[in-house]
């Protein structure tokens, strides 16, 4: 199994993204976000609970389309 250091890996990905994105080669984040249409009821419930926990804690919930 290949092993890399997380920070270095993320830096490489971000560098490639910065290089390719101006040419439109990388889809926008929002177009990649799961639309949620095929989520199971259990998954929707779990995401809803995560959303509620974040709000109670005063944190920004992660947009998850549940």
Partner 1 sequence: MSADFDVVAGDDIAFGKAMAAAGFVDDEKAMHGQGGWYHPAHPQFAVEQVSGGYFDGRADKARCLKLTVRDDAAIVLPAIEDMIADRLGQHEVAGGDMSMLEQARALYALAEGLDLAYLYRRIVEESGNPAHLGLSKGHEDA
CB atoms within 10 A of CB 47: 19
Minimum gap (Å) between residue 34 Cβ and partner 1: 5
Site residues (CB under 8 A) for partner 1?
A: 1-6, 9, 12-13, 16-17, 20, 25-27, 29, 31-35, 37-38, 40, 42-43, 45-47, 49-51, 53-54, 56-57, 59-65
Q: Cβ distance 66 to 36 under 8 Å?
A: yes
The DSSP call for residue 37 is T
């Amino acid at each position: 199994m290949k092993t890399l250091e997380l920070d270095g890996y993320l830096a490489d990905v971000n560098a490639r993204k910065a290089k390719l994105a101006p040419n439109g080669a990388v889809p926008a984040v929002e177009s990649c976000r799961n639309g949620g249409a095929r989520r199971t009821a259990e998954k929707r419930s779990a995401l809803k609970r995560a959303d509620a926990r974040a709000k109670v804690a005063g944190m920004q919930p992660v947009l998850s389309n549940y």
